Amino acid sequence: MTSLSEKGTSLSALLVLALFLSGVNDSWGTQPARGSAFSSFVRVSGHVVKTIDGDSFHILTSDSLLLKVRLFGVDAPEKDQLYGTEATDFAATQLQNKSVLLQIRDRDRYGRWVADVLVLPNKPRGGGPKGDTLNLAHSMLEKGMAWWYEKYAAKEKQMQKLFEQAQRKKVGLWGQADVQAPWEYRRFPHQNK
Q: 150 an active-site residue?
A: no
- The question of whether 112 is a catalytic residue gets the answer yes
Set 78, 86, 142, 156: catalytic member: 78
Residue 70 annotated as catalytic? yes
70, 86, 142, 156: which is the annotated catalytic residue? 70
Q: Which of 45, 69, 72, 46 is nearest to 56 (CA)?
A: 69
Catalytic residue among 86, 112, 142, 156: 112
Q: What does each C-alpha distance from 15 to 30, 60, 61, 67, 89 come to in angstroms? A: 21, 15, 13, 13, 33
Instruction: Report the alpha-carbon distance of residue 166 to residue 48 in Å, rounded.
Output: 27
- Residue 13 region by backbone torsions, left for phi larger than 0, else alpha for psi between -120 and 50, else beta: alpha
Q: Where in the sequence numbering do the catalytic residues fall? A: 70, 78, 112
